[in-house]
Structure 1
Amino acid sequence: MPRRDLPPPPPPAHVRAWLDESAVRADRARILRELGRRSLGMGRLLLLWAVSAVFALGWTFVAMGLMAFEEGDVVSLGLGVLFAVLGVGVLVPAGFWFAWGARRDRQVRRLLCAWAEADRDPAADSRVRAPGRSLTWLLASFGLAGAGLFLTFGVALSVRQTEGRYGEIAYYMGLGMILWITGLLGLGKAGAHYRWAIRAFRA
């Protein structure tokens, strides 16, 4: 998992007073652009989906274990234990990866707020608002959340037709929940960035 150092926080006001104003504004514009990319760039959206895909892979192993347990014979029980161990082995690192990403997002958000309050530069601030990126996050996440809800409720409504295949039902419902939660996270991030930009850069 690659990790790059975040930009530093802005210098205090009494220090900025002694610095060249044009250089400070150029640094602010550059850092805000970099922080905006890390917060709401396509790379962050793909990273969120990558974490979701790892969770889906781990859940697939767990569901395969459940399906194997349903068979009831000794070989299937052994395979079930193996799949369950593989599933936990994938889900636990995915959980740590998600926690690391959430912590990094909080750090980026704090730096964004600090640099936005350090000065005003309409040209640079308009790029940080990034309505296009927010809309991309919104539409992509809405589609993903809708697909997750469709899958979850579709499986729930077809339980009678798949009676006795509870491992398969659990698999599809869990997969739908992963998609739904991932979509909700994306929607929340896009909405939070939009509200923050309106407050931070209002006239």
Structure 2
Amino acid sequence: MPRSALPPLPPPAHLRPWLDDAVLRADRARFLTDLSRRSLGIGRLLLLWAVAAVFVLGWTFVGMAWMDVERHEFFSYVHGLIYTVLGVGVLIPAVFWLVRGIRQDRQVRQLLHAWVESDRDPAADARLRAPGLSLVWLLASFALGVLGLWVAFGAAASAGPSRTTSGELAYIMGTGQILWITGLLGLAKAVVHYRWAVRAFRSRN
């Protein structure tokens, strides 16, 4: 199986009596470890933040275009057009990566549930609860969300006609919103995993 490919679904129930139990259990443990890493690994958190950083970069170009246009000069319009094209060119791939990541997360959750329900292996299943990783996601995402809210509302509170242009205000508040939404996605992921683990393993005890 290629490293980037998702594990397959478990064999149907009517075929399992014909298969080797030891091989099935080894496959189950291996696939669940891989799916858990894809779902809640530190690399997944860093990837989410990397996508957020690309969004911030794209929004920076858009903000620079907005601020240039506000100068109402010929060359500022030209610069604004260039920055707009750059911003759109960065934001479109970021949206694609985000949508692709959300779809893959849904597939990973479905496969996790299917493989957990396929058999019982207390030693392998205990590692899937991953309370430490859930806590890392929770705290890191909470901190990022708080930072985003502070940036957005701080910019709005300190804005004034003589101090901040509408372009500067939109850029700062937009950046804060990106950080806040990224933190919210991370918080939701940690909570969903925790609730899934509690329900899945409580019903099997």
Q: TM-score scaled to structure 1, two decimals?
A: 0.96
Equivalenced residues, count: 202
CA RMSD after TM alignment: 1.4
The equivalent residue for 1:140 is: 140
Runs of 4+ in 1 over 4 A off after TM superposition: 161-164
Shift of 1:44: 0.6
Structure 2 residue identity aligned to 1:103: R
1:50 equivalent to 2:50? Answer: yes
Which residue of structure 2 lines up, in the alignment, with residue 4 of structure 1? 4
Letter in 2 for 1:96: F
Partner residue of 1:27? Answer: 27
| Pairing of 1:165-184 with structure 2 (within 5 A) | 165-184=165-184
Distance (whole Å) between structure 1 residues aligned to residue 110 and residue 18 of structure 2: 24
> Distance in 1 between the 2:168 and 2:84 partners?
15
Q: 1:19 to 1:183 in 2, by over 3 A?
A: same
Q: Is the 8 A contact 1:65 1:81 kept in 2?
A: yes
Quick one: distance in 2 between partners of 1:175 and 1:19? 54
Amino acid paired to 2:87: G
Task: Give me the whole-angstrom Cα distance separating, in 2, the residues matched to 1:168 and 1:162.
Answer: 12
Q: Deviations over 1:8-54 (max 9, x none)?
A: 11001121112222221111111101100000001110110011000
Please tell me the residue identity of whatever aligns with 1:29.
A
Cα offset, 1:164, TM superposition:
4.9
Which residues in structure 2 correspond to 1:14-163 (within 5 Å)? 14-160=14-160, 163=163
Name stretches of at least 5 consecutive residues in structure 1 with no aligned partner.
none
- TM-score, reference length from structure 2: 0.95
**Structure 2: how far apart are the matches of 1:61 and 1:160?**
23
Alpha-carbon distance between aligned partners in 1 of 2:115 and 2:161, rounded to the nearest angstrom: 57
Shift of 1:160: 2.0
Gaps of 5+ in 2: none
- Whole-Å separation in 1 of the counterparts to 2:187 and 2:143: 10
Whether contact under 8 Å (1:162, 1:169) holds in the other structure is no
1:88, distance to aligned residue in structure 2 (A): 0.7
Residues in 2 aligned to 1:30 and 1:58: alpha-carbon distance in whole angstroms: 39
Distance 1:161 1:122, change over 3 A: farther
